[in-house]
């Protein structure tokens, strides 16, 4: 057994210093900036899902009052395309448009009203073209090609063993098709930014984003400036959830500032965000899963299709994560996984908390629950028979790390009173039906095989504090306090002495972005390395001051000690400064990676995973079809918990977004026109949807490669919610829904006494 | 009124989240009653008292609430939170925070997309408790 270490500053609910400031309205978001003389900008967007652009006439718009500039594709000095993996999406469309909301021109004027009027006065001559509104159409024989390379953006197959033979010899084969919908991020602060050129000619951009250095690269590539002439600041941000991981308006803002040489502010309206912002990929998943008489999985065949919109953006990552997730955290000896990323004219899909994991989890966990029902096995017992074991060879050929936490998650769930006494819940009215469901989840931390070289820094100030510098934006996760705790723990000083400099390319090293549950793991690792470097350098200068050798100096709790005396790190930093030596130390972190990606994929496999088990209780109104979520009991393994309050806040948030995904949220496209662009038409959970009981109980677990044993928490809570609640609805009503969301209409029409013909279980 | 507050008075605590009265991020008190300021015309409030989150803070009305929101972990991205704080202040004042269902109903018009409801509800409940017997 490992010795339980007694930590001083981690594993504690240190309050987030931003909490009060945000609560009292003191924090200024970029939307809140109103610099004097700042121009207001608007975007001219396509009303058509697909059209040829025959001309853009800005002459009348330019004559509008207050109009300072109109930017079109002609103004782009660099590459008129963006995209994290493949640069397919035009920065500004000039010859054709491929989705409703695609940007064609930008207007800057003295006031918002003037900019709006001028944007309306821009004349675009369109020739409408046939468009593709579904994956089935896109793959049909007569479909027009959205891009010259065809409507299949990516296709890959991962195979092991002989799934055909294994399925044929299985005791039981469960075959089903699952469908999931597009989900919108609906952050409360829409895409927003403000930019200006400073006296040194540096383009300063304050924009809601998730990865300042990568955004800077994309901006530089398009506007034709060297990266060093651009500063990107991504803090604070009013919500992101993956929807600000790709470029949104950064390049537009840069073009406007460069053309006008003035400060410019660009904020998307809710409706613009609803139409032109990104969404989660809709999936269709054909599953065939085999199991032996002993309850051990024999084979899995998963054929996945995802609607990526006209341009891929994060599509390859989303599909890879889905393919990696669709076997679950289970040993599957034989499998065939096929992923097809399909182009349509239904707006752009990109990253959303969990990438493709919530989708694939809905399929594989529903399969597991059906298998348990068919075999008459306890659902958690079936999982226990199949879960990954530590150090075992995983499905994709790599050796698994520590998976003990996964087993503990299952144990905790099976011991809970809700699971033990699930048959005893009696609803208050005869038309209400209660049920309890279960699901298990896994999520790889970080980018898998993709390059990831995070760097962060600490600076020790003679004035008496330490600054932690990292680029992963804190857009609400609480990274600012948890990273301060990590640095405090390492130095042995109070977190109140640790200040943070966050997400500003002028001041912090490139730690990468906040996505893929990687922030604590990567920035934490790099910060601890920089602390080690700081302490080593401070020992040298202290040895000098104390007339001894560096190896005779010991360090603890902010003090450097030798036989001859002692001094604190701040005084030692002062001595370094006097010698002209740096007091800022850059550290790095080597993300463990498998030598090469699994053939056909970009990033499979991941080496480190978070895990979870989730129990959910629902009450289904069989007259109205409404699903009321009464309880969500969550048992995650996120490694060492740095701050239990903010970690459980992350879990609440992921569970609530998962609840929305499961029972109400759907971004509807009708003939490729987005219909759900605001909070009236696109429903998200509100306070009354908050369950009677929502609780997170972390299992004790440590990851050897993580900072003080931490992994990641951002995505794991959203992943198992839909599959768990589908199981709870099945337990309540006898009907298992295989399509999301489980909205009242869909629930009602599936119930046997309502429409017997459609009651397919 | 939202634009008047933000652009002319420099009071940016009230946030535009939808500008259609759907999200509650712009909630202020108009003659003591919570309203979504994006739906109120500036001309309509001539002669009325408008209290923003900044005003409540300046008048010392948020002593318990602001600490409770921070300590309970109710603040994530924080964009919706000033609206929640104003609405919660009114809910506590009007005795709607004594039971959880009543409180949920009182806060129903405010959306937190970070999904912080469990901790927001806990913060308001804790604040209502500690505020008993004096402001």
DSSP letter string, A388-419:
--TT-B-TTSSBP---HHHHHHHHHHHHSHHH
Facing residue for A679 by CB, picked from B16, B22, B53: B22
Facing residue for A25 by CB, picked from B76, B82, B120: B82
Q: Write down the mean pLDDT value for chain B.
A: 95
Q: What per-residue confidence (pLDDT) applies to A401? A: 87
Q: What per-residue confidence (pLDDT) applies to A598? A: 86
Contact A661, A722 (CB under 8 A): yes
CATH code of the domain covering residue B32: 3.10.20.30
Distance from CA of A579 to the nearest CA of B (A): 42
Facing residue for A24 by CB, picked from B57, B73, B77: B57
- Region B77-90 average pLDDT: 98
Half-sphere exposure of B48 (CA within 13 A, CB side): 18
Burial string for A60-98 (b: 16+ CB within 10 Å, else e) reads ebeebeebbbbbbbebbeebbbbbbbebbbbbbbbebbb
- In a 3-state reduction of DSSP, which class is residue A197? strand
Distance from CA of A227 to the nearest CA of B (A): 28
B18–A656 CB contact, under 8 Å: no
- In a 3-state reduction of DSSP, which class is residue A639? strand
- B37 closest CA partner among B11, B76, B71, B63: B11
Range name among A6-10, A20-24, A578-582, A596-600 with the lowest pLDDT average = A596-600
The residue of chain A nearest to residue B52, with distances taken between CA atoms, is A25
Distance from CA of B132 to the nearest CA of A (A): 21
- Region A156-170 average pLDDT: 96
Query: For the purposes of burial, counting CB atoms within 10 Å of the CB of A333, is it exposed (0-12), middle (13-18) or buried (19 or more)?
Result: middle
B114–A18 CB contact, under 8 Å: no
For chain A, give the percent of residues with pLDDT over 90. 94
What residues of B are in contact with residue A477 (Cβ under 8 Å)? 76
Q: What per-residue confidence (pLDDT) applies to A5? A: 60
Residue-wise pLDDT for A214-273, tens only, equals: 999 999 999 999 999 999 999 999 999 999 999 999 999 999 999 999 999 999 999 999
Residue-wise pLDDT for A481-504, tens only, equals: 999 999 999 999 999 999 999 999
- Region A578-599 average pLDDT: 93
Q: Is the pLDDT of residue A352 over 60?
A: yes
The residue ranges of every structural domain in chain A are: 33-129+188-240+244-276, 282-392+404-448+597-758, 453-588
Cα B21 to Cα A186, B11, B50, B111, B116, distances in angstroms: 15, 19, 17, 11, 20
What residues of B are in contact with residue A715 (Cβ under 8 Å)? none
Facing residue for A690 by CB, picked from B66, B80, B121: B121
Reported ipTM: the value is 0.97
A25–B53 CB contact, under 8 Å: yes
Provide the CA A53 distance to its chain's centre, in angstroms. 34
A652–B117 CB contact, under 8 Å: yes
Distance from CA of B91 to the nearest CA of A (A): 14
Alpha helices in A170-314 (DSSP H): 212-223, 250-260, 270-276
What residues of B are in contact with residue A185 (Cβ under 8 Å)? 113
Q: Are strands A609-621 and A673-674 parallel, antiparallel or unpaired?
A: unpaired
What residues of A are in contact with residue B103 (Cβ under 8 Å)? 687
Does the pTM surpass 0.95? The reply is yes
Helix axes A644-663, B117-130, angle to 10 degrees: 130
B85–A477 CB contact, under 8 Å: no
Identify the residue whose tokens are 């008047």. B4
Contact A343, A309 (CB under 8 A): yes
Q: Identical fold at A282-392+404-448+597-758 and A453-588?
A: yes
CA A708, CA A328: separation in Å to the nearest integer?
27
Q: Is the pLDDT of residue A753 over 80?
A: no
- Count of beta carbons in the 10 Å neighbourhood of residue A345: 29
B57–A28 CB contact, under 8 Å: no
Distance from CA of A725 to the nearest CA of B (A): 17
Q: Is B81 part of a structural domain of the chain?
A: yes
A15–B70 CB contact, under 8 Å: yes
A649–B14 CB contact, under 8 Å: no
Facing residue for A20 by CB, picked from B67, B105, B121: B67
Facing residue for B113 by CB, picked from A19, A28, A186: A186
- Region B33-51 average pLDDT: 97
Model confidence band, residue B130 (pLDDT cutoffs 50, 70, 90): confident
B112–A186 CB contact, under 8 Å: no
CA A738, CA A736: separation in Å to the nearest integer?
6
The residue of chain B nearest to residue A191, with distances taken between CA atoms, is B17
Cα A355 to Cα A18, A245, A403, A551, distances in angstroms: 28, 11, 22, 48
Nearest 10 degrees: CA dihedral of A547, A553, A557, A558? 40
Domain count along chain B? 1
The residue of chain A nearest to residue B13, with distances taken between CA atoms, is A25
Q: Is the pLDDT of residue A752 over 50?
A: yes
Facing residue for B66 by CB, picked from A23, A29, A241: A23
Query: For the purposes of burial, counting CB atoms within 10 Å of the CB of A284, is it exposed (0-12), middle (13-18) or buried (19 or more)?
Result: buried
Model confidence band, residue A436 (pLDDT cutoffs 50, 70, 90): very high
- Region A206-214 average pLDDT: 98
Q: Is the pLDDT of residue A759 over 50?
A: no
- Region B108-130 average pLDDT: 96
Distance from CA of A721 to the nearest CA of B (A): 14
The residue of chain B nearest to residue A38, with distances taken between CA atoms, is B7
Strand partners, A176: A287
Distance from CA of A663 to the nearest CA of B (A): 15
More confident residue, A402 or A621: A621
What residues of A are in contact with residue B88 (Cβ under 8 Å)? none
What residues of B are in contact with residue A191 (Cβ under 8 Å)? none
Model confidence band, residue A595 (pLDDT cutoffs 50, 70, 90): confident
What residues of A are in contact with residue B116 (Cβ under 8 Å)? 649, 652-653, 656
What residues of B are in contact with residue A190 (Cβ under 8 Å)? 17
Q: What per-residue confidence (pLDDT) applies to A399? A: 86
Q: Write down the mean pLDDT value for chain A.
A: 96
**For the domain A33-129+188-240+244-276, what is the CATH code?**
3.90.1170.50
Interface test with A, best of B58, B114, B121, B124 (most A CBs within 10 A): B114
Model confidence band, residue A397 (pLDDT cutoffs 50, 70, 90): confident
Residue-wise pLDDT for A515-562, tens only, equals: 999 999 999 999 999 999 999 999 999 999 999 999 999 999 999 999
Question: May I ask the CATH class of domain A453-588?
Answer: alpha beta
- Count of beta carbons in the 10 Å neighbourhood of residue A588: 17
Distance from CA of A701 to the nearest CA of B (A): 23
Spell out the residues 6+ positions from residue A705 whose beta carbon is closer than 8 angstroms to its own: A401, A525, A592, A608
CATH number for domain A282-392+404-448+597-758, candidates 3.40.50.300, 3.40.50.620, 3.30.365.10, 1.10.3720.10: 3.30.365.10
B113–A185 CB contact, under 8 Å: yes
The sign of the dihedral angle between the CA atoms of B40, B43, B47, B50 is: positive
A687–B121 CB contact, under 8 Å: yes
Q: Is B135 part of a structural domain of the chain?
A: no
Q: What per-residue confidence (pLDDT) applies to A12? A: 95
Range(s) of the domain holding residue B86 = 2-130
Q: What are phi and psi of A747, to 5 degrees?
A: -65, -50
Q: What per-residue confidence (pLDDT) applies to A543? A: 97
What residues of A are in contact with residue B110 (Cβ under 8 Å)? 686-687
Q: What per-residue confidence (pLDDT) applies to A760? A: 43
- Region B24-50 average pLDDT: 97
Model confidence band, residue A597 (pLDDT cutoffs 50, 70, 90): confident
Q: Cα A470–A450–A336 angle (5° rounding)?
A: 140
Q: Cα A122–A127–A130 angle (5° rounding)?
A: 130
Query: For the purposes of burial, counting CB atoms within 10 Å of the CB of A253, is it exposed (0-12), middle (13-18) or buried (19 or more)?
Result: buried
Q: What per-residue confidence (pLDDT) applies to A395? A: 79
Cα B25 to Cα A261, A274, A653, distances in angstroms: 33, 17, 18
- A45 closest CA partner among A99, A112, A110: A99
């Amino acid at each position: 057994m490992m010795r339980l270490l007694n930590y001083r500053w981690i594993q504690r609910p240190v309050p987030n210093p931003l909490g009060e400031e945000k609560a009292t309205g003191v924090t200024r978001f970029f939307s809140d900036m109103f610099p004097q003389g700042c121009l207001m900008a608007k975007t001219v967007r396509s009303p058509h899902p697909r059209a040829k652009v025959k001309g853009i006439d800005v002459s009348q718009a330019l004559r509008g009052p207050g109009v300072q500039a109109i930017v079109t594709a002609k103004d782009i000095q660099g590459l008129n395309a963006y995209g994290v993996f493949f640069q397919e999406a035009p920065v500004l469309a000039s010859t054709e448009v491929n989705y409703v909301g695609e940007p064609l021109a930008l207007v800057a004027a003295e006031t918002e009203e003037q900019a709006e009027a001028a944007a309306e006065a821009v004349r675009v001559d369109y020739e409408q073209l046939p468009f593709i509104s579904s994956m089935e159409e896109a793959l049909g024989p007569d479909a027009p090609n959205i891009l010259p390379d065809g409507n299949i953006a990516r296709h890959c197959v991962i195979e092991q063993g002989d799934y055909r033979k294994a399925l044929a010899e299985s005791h039981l084969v469960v075959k089903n098709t699952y469908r999931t919908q597009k989900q919108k991020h609906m952050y409360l602060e829409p895409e927003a930014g403000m930019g200006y050129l400073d006296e040194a000619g540096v383009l300063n951009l304050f924009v809601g984003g998730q990865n300042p250095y990568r955004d800077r690269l994309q901006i530089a590539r398009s506007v034709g400036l060297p990266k060093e002439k651009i500063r990107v600041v991504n803090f604070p941000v009013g919500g992101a959830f993956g929807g600000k991981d790709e470029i949104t308006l950064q390049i537009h803002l840069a073009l406007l500032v460069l053309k006008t040489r003035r400060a410019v502010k660009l904020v998307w309206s809710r409706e613009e965000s609803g139409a032109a912002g990104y969404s989660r990929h809709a999936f269709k998943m054909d599953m065939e899963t085999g199991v032996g008489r002993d309850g051990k999985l024999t084979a899995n065949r998963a054929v996945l299709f995802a609607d990526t919109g006209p341009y891929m953006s994060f599509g390859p990552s989303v599909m890879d994560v889905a393919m990696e997730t669709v076997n679950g955290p289970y040993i599957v000896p034989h499998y065939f996984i096929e992923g097809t990323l399909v182009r349509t004219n239904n707006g752009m899909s990109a990253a959303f908390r969990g990438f493709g994991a919530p989708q694939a989890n809905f399929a594989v966990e529903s399969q597991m629950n059906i298998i348990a029902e068919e075999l008459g096995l306890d659902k958690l017992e079936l999982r226990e028979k199949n879960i990954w074991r530590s150090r075992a060879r995983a499905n994709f050929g790599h050796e698994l790390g520590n998976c003990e936490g996964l087993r503990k998650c299952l144990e905790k769930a099976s011991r809970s009173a809700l699971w033990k006494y699930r048959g005893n819940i009696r609803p208050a009215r005869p038309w209400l039906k209660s049920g309890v469901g279960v699901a298990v989840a896994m999520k790889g931390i970080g980018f898998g095989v993709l390059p990831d070289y995070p760097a962060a820094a600490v600076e020790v100030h003679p004035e008496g504090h330490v600054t932690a510098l990292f680029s992963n934006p804190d857009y609400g996760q609480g990274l600012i306090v948890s990273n301060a705790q990590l640095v405090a723990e390492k130095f042995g000083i109070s977190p109140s002495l640790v200040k943070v400099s966050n997400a500003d390319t002028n001041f912090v090293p490139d730690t990468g972005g906040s996505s893929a549950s990687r922030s604590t793991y990567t920035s934490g690792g790099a910060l601890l390395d920089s602390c080690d470097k700081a302490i080593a350098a401070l020992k040298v200068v202290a040895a000098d001051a104390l007339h001894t050798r560096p190896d005779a100096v010991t360090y603890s709790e902010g003090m450097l000690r030798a036989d001859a005396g002692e001094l604190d790190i701040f005084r030692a930093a002062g001595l370094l400064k006097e010698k002209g030596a740096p007091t800022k130390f850059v550290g790095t972190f080597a993300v463990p990676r498998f030598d090469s990606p699994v053939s056909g994929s970009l990033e499979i496999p991941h080496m480190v995973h978070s895990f979870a088990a989730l129990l959910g209780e629902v009450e289904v109104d069989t007259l109205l079809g409404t699903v009321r979520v009464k309880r969500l009991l969550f048992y995650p393994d996120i490694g060492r918990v740095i701050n239990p309050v903010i970690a459980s806040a992350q879990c609440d948030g992921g569970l609530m977004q998962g609840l929305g995904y499961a029972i109400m949220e759907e971004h509807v496209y009708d003939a490729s026109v987005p219909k759900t662009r605001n909070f009236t038409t696109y429903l998200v959970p509100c306070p009354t949807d908050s369950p009677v009981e929502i609780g997170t109980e972390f299992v004790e677990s440590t990851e050897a490669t993580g900072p003080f044993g931490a992994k990641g928490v951002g995505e794991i809570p959203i992943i198992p919610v839909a599959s768990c609640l589908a199981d709870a609805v099945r337990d309540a009503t006898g009907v298992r829904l295989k399509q999301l969301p489980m909205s009242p209409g869909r629930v009602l029409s599936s119930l046997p006494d309502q429409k017997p013909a459609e009651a397919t279980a | 009124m939202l634009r008047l507050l933000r652009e002319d008075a420099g009071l940016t605590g009230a946030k535009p989240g939808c500008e259609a009265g759907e999200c509650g991020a712009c909630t202020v008190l108009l003659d003591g009653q919570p309203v979504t300021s994006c739906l109120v015309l500036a001309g309509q409030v001539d002669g009325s008292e408008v209290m923003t989150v900044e005003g409540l803070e300046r008048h010392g009305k948020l002593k318990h609430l602001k600490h409770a929101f921070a300590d309970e972990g109710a603040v994530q991205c924080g964009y919706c939170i000033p609206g929640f704080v104003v609405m919660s202040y009114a809910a506590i004042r009007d005795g709607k925070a004594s039971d959880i269902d009543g409180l949920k109903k009182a806060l129903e018009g405010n959306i937190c997309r970070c999904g912080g409801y469990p901790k927001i509800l806990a913060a308001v409940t804790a604040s209502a408790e500690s505020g008993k017997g004096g402001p």
